[in-house]
């Protein structure tokens, strides 16, 4: 019995010792933990690899990742949208230029033709026997200038068939030439002739000219540029003496008659006192104005 007890005690103690030994054997377990610690140290280098990867891609990645996502999303729609317009655009562009190019001369040509109503006015003027005039070719519309049916006014034929020459021959619209002829024959000649001397010619006459008012660069287009205006400088008598219309020392009665009759017939009359450009001659025109407005600026003294 004692022996069995002793064995049991010994066995128990031995078992206890073994447990203790095993316990002490587990103490070295910490070493493996330090081994785990280095392992995280091994994982630590991984992070540096990650940043190493992030850095290189970052420069390329910023554009690269941006394009790939955008391209796949944008490409499908753009490819479909861009392709059709490219195919449609070229045809219309190619068709538009040729269509416009021939259209321009066609659109411009009509104004270059003589207008029926102005041709009728010219026919009546030339057949009336009150002027010596010749038809000239239409002056094409360019920069606002031009005359559809112009004439060159050579002389005014008075009721007694006398001829008053117009020098030089102005090119005018026919209605302007007709009104100028009536003014000269019905008002100017009667006012200037006193029975002692006869008028031979009207000198210093201007007509059509493609230019701005008073020749001011970039200024408003002159009525001369449409054949609507005529300038007169002087009246030349058969005996050789000359009366300058812009003179402020002319016979007041005759000068008043000339001015008033001109202002009654024409839409615009400009002479001395109007501006510096009209101190040397008288300008008359038929510029159309709303409500029939007129300008009459001709100082006699």
Interface with Zn ion by CB under 5 A: which residues? 229, 231, 283
Angle separating helix axes 174-183 and 252-265, nearest 10 degrees: 150
Q: How far is the CB of 159 from Zn ion (least distance, A)?
A: 28
Please say which residue, 169 or 283, places its beta carbon nearer to Zn ion: 283
Q: How far is the CB of 261 from Zn ion (least distance, A)?
A: 18
Please say which residue, 126 or 245, places its beta carbon nearer to Zn ion: 245
Please say which residue, 126 or 285, places its beta carbon nearer to Zn ion: 285
Q: How far is the CB of 295 from Zn ion (least distance, A)?
A: 12
Please say which residue, 229 or 267, places its beta carbon nearer to Zn ion: 229
Q: Is the peptide bond between 168 and the residue preceding it cis, with omega within 30 degrees of 0?
A: yes
Distance separating alpha carbons of residues 273 and 261, to the nearest angstrom: 18
Report residue 260 as tokens. Answer: 């008033």
Q: How far is the CB of 285 from Zn ion (least distance, A)?
A: 7
Distance separating alpha carbons of residues 274 and 237, to the nearest angstrom: 27
Q: How far is the CB of 213 from Zn ion (least distance, A)?
A: 8
Please say which residue, 146 or 170, places its beta carbon nearer to Zn ion: 170
CB 202 within 8 A of CB 163: no
Q: Is 110 helix (H, G, I), strand (E, B) or coil?
A: helix
Q: How far is the CB of 262 from Zn ion (least distance, A)?
A: 12
Please say which residue, 165 or 287, places its beta carbon nearer to Zn ion: 287
Distance separating alpha carbons of residues 114 and 209, to the nearest angstrom: 19
Residue facing Zn ion at closest CB distance: 283
- What letter would DSSP give residue 215? G
Nearest residue to 226 (alpha-carbon basis) of 249, 241, 209, 201? 209
Give the DSSP H/E element, type plus range, for residue 242.
strand 242-244
- What letter would DSSP give residue 37? T
Please say which residue, 126 or 298, places its beta carbon nearer to Zn ion: 298
CA 254 from centroid of its chain's CA atoms? 49
Q: How far is the CB of 225 from Zn ion (least distance, A)?
A: 10
CA atoms within 13 A on the CB side of 282: 30
């Amino acid at each position: 019995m004692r022996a069995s007890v002793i064995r049991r005690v010994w066995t128990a103690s031995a078992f206890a010792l073994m447990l203790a030994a095993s316990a002490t054997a587990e103490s070295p377990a910490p070493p493996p933990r330090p081994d785990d610690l280095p392992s995280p140290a091994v994982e630590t280098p991984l992070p540096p690899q990650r940043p190493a990867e992030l850095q290189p891609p970052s420069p390329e990645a910023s554009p690269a990742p941006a394009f790939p996502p955008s391209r796949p999303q944008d490409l499908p729609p753009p490819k479909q949208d861009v392709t059709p317009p490219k195919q449609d655009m070229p045809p219309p562009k190619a068709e538009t230029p040729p269509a416009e190019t021939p259209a321009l001369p066609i659109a411009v040509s009509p104004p270059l033709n003589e207008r029926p109503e102005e041709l009728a006015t010219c026919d009546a003027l030339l057949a009336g026997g009150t002027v010596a005039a010749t038809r000239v070719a239409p002056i094409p519309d360019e920069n606002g200038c031009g005359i559809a049916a112009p004439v060159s006014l050579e002389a005014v034929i008075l009721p007694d068939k006398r001829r008053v020459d117009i020098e030089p021959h102005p090119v005018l619209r026919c209605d302007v030439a007709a009104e100028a002829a009536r003014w000269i024959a019905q008002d100017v000649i009667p006012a200037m002739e006193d029975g002692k001397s006869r008028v031979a010619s009207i000198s210093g006459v201007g007509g059509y000219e493609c230019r701005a008012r008073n020749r001011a660069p970039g200024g408003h287009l002159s009525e001369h540029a449409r054949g609507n205006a005529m300038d007169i400088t002087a009246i030349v008598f058969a005996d050789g003496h000359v009366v300058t219309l812009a003179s402020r020392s002319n016979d007041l009665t005759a000068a008043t008659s000339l001015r008033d009759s001109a202002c009654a017939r024409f839409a615009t009359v400009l002479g001395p006192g109007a501006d510096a450009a009209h101190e040397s001659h008288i300008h008359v025109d038929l510029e159309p104005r709303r409500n029939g407005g007129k300008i009459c600026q001709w100082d006699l003294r």
